[in-house]
Amino acid sequence: MIGEVFRGLRTLRGSKGRPAVRPITLETLRSDHLDQLHAINHEVILRYGAPLVAVPICRRATEPGDLSHFLLELGVDPFRRWNMLYYASDRASARELDTHVYDPAMEGLHDGSMADVIRKVRLSWMTYLEEEPDATPEQCERYRDMLRAFLVQCGVRFETMMFRGKRNLWQEIMAQHEARGAA
C-alpha cells in the first residue's frame, strides 16, 4: 500500500516513443483516482453486485487550497488510500463485503482531524528546512519519506477505527489492483 500511496509522476509515451512526463496537478491525480476507482469497481460489481463509494478522510486535501498544494509539494497524492475510506453502496453488497454501507453523514466526518495532521506535517517540514539549511538533497528526501510514511500511518489508523470488527473484503480487490499497478 505504501508504494502505491505515493506514486506521483506518471511517465507516458510521447511522440516517437520518447517518455513524456505528464504534469502532476490535483486534477491529474483526481482523474487518475477516478480511473482506478472505475477499474476496482468493475471487479467489485462482478463479485458483489454494487460499486464502492470513495470518501476522503480529509476532503480539503482533495480540493484546491493550501493543504493540497503542500501535499503535492511533498509528493503525496491526496486521492490514495491514506486519505480515502471505501464503503459499500448498498446494504446487500455491504453484507457480502462485510463492511459498512455508505451514509452521506460520513462525508467530512474526520476532515478537521486529518487537516490538523496535515498542517502539523507541514509545520514539521518547514521547521526542518529552517533548522537544517545545510541538509543535502538526500537528507531532505529521507525526511520527506518519513513525513509521507507518517501520513500513511494516520490514514491506516482512521481506516482501522472506522471499520473495526469488519473484514472489508474490498481490501483484497484493492490490494490485487495495487499490485498489478506496481508491476
* 8 A C-beta contact, residue 53 and residue 89: yes
Q: How many domains does the chain have?
A: 1
Q: Given this model, what pLDDT does residue 21 score?
A: 52
Low-confidence ranges of the chain (pLDDT < 70): 1-22, 182-183
Q: Which amino acid is at 44?
A: V
**Residue 150, pLDDT score:** 97
> What pLDDT score was predicted for residue 9?
31
pLDDT value of residue 182: 56
In this prediction, residue 22 carries a pLDDT of 58
* pLDDT, position 131: 97
Q: DSSP class of residue 164?
A: T
pLDDT at 1: 39
In this prediction the pTM is 0.83
Q: How far is CA 69 from CA 1, 24, 58, 72, 118, in A?
A: 23, 11, 14, 5, 11
What residues make up the domain containing 12? 2-182
Question: Do residues 128 and 135 make contact, with C-beta atoms less than 8 angstroms apart?
Answer: yes
